[in-house]
Structure 1
Amino acid sequence: MSDDLDPGAVSAALLASLSVLLRRVRHVPVDGGLTMPERTALSQLERSGPTTSSALAREVQITAQAMGATLGALRSRGLVDRRPDPDDRRRVVLTVTDAGRQALKDKRNARVELVAQALTSGAFSPEELEQLAAAAALLERLAQHI
């Protein structure tokens, strides 16, 4: 690293810019879209696989009551299913339905489209687009080292 570059300053600049970018893309409207708590719960459930409501609440660091309300809304829309735990019939596990996966895909696609529109708006030169492509790979590598 160059003597002129302070790792602390680079870190602060990266985190600030990524925070702004993420805040903006999180608010992309999608017809029949998910609220932030619904998207968080559904995404975590998709990643972790079948689990209980209380385990899911612990994973996303919210109260069991708040998770219960969120899951109730997701179930009423057919995005989450409840089934008896095959290992312990007294417990109930939650799974993402095909409709839930599609809702997540729609939200992700809307975000990708928003960023793609910004990239093709003329605000970036071809050289800058190449730099952004390279930066994406570097950011992924950075994430793996944290």
Structure 2
Amino acid sequence: MSEALAPDSVASTLLASVGVLLRRVQQVPLEGGLTMPERTALSHLERSGPTTSSALARDVQITAQAMGATLSALRERGLLERRPDPDDGRRMLLSVTEAGLQALKDKRNARVELITQALTGGAFTPEEMERLASVAPLLQRLAQNI
């Protein structure tokens, strides 16, 4: 195996380039969109289902106080709801509302549009577009193997 294709070299290059792409996409402000902590909380609730505020804070590795502020903002906007835990009436479970699911969908669509705009207008040749398309499944498989 040549030096250019050594696994540690490929790993380093992939990590750097994918990291730059993700940071750029996340840094571009989207009108009326979710903040990063709001998106993180809603996405986690969407994937994992209802949970408590403290469990959510622990899962996304932020303080309970920071999570409380984020959740308050989301509740005020009607993007999540609190309900008593059927197994323990003293606890409240948080879940994403339909409006919250729509906000996540809108954010994802806006990011897809952002990348679509970057890909159009002659910035990439048809051959480069094919290469980018062929890499996507490999990146997904890489992520699944981590």
| TM-score class, shorter | over 0.9
CA distance in 2, matches of 1:78, 1:32: 14
The superposition leaves residues 16-74 of structure 1 with CA deviations (integer Å, 9 ceiling, x where unpaired) of 00011001111233322111111111111111100000000010000111111110010
Match of 1:89 in 2: 89
CA distance in 1, matches of 2:96, 2:51: 10
CA contact under 8 A between 1:50 and 1:95: conserved in structure 2?
yes
Question: C-alpha displacement at 1:92, in angstroms?
Answer: 0.3
CA distance in 1, matches of 2:121, 2:138: 24
Unaligned runs of 5+ in 2: none
TM-score (norm: length of structure 1): 0.95
Match of 2:2 in 1: 3
Question: C-alpha displacement at 1:9, in angstroms?
Answer: 1.1
Match of 1:104 in 2: 104
TM-score (norm: length of structure 2): 0.95
CA distance in 1, matches of 2:42, 2:144: 23
CA distance in 2, matches of 1:28, 1:89: 42
2:52 paired with 1:60: no
CA distance in 2, matches of 1:96, 1:31: 21
2:122 paired with 1:118: no
Match of 1:77 in 2: 77
Unaligned runs of 5+ in 1: none
CA contact under 8 A between 1:30 and 1:106: conserved in structure 2?
no
RMSD: 1.0
CA distance in 1, matches of 2:104, 2:83: 21
Match of 1:143 in 2: 143
| Structure 2 counterparts to residues 10-21 of structure 1, below 5 A | 10-21=10-21
Question: C-alpha displacement at 1:121, in angstroms?
Answer: 2.2
SS at match of 2:44: helix
CA contact under 8 A between 1:38 and 1:74: conserved in structure 2?
yes
Match of 1:33 in 2: 33
What's the % identity of the aligned pairs? 74
2:48 paired with 1:48: yes
Matched residues, number: 145
The ranges of structure 1 where at least 4 consecutive aligned residues each deviate by more than 2 angstroms after the TM superposition are 27-31
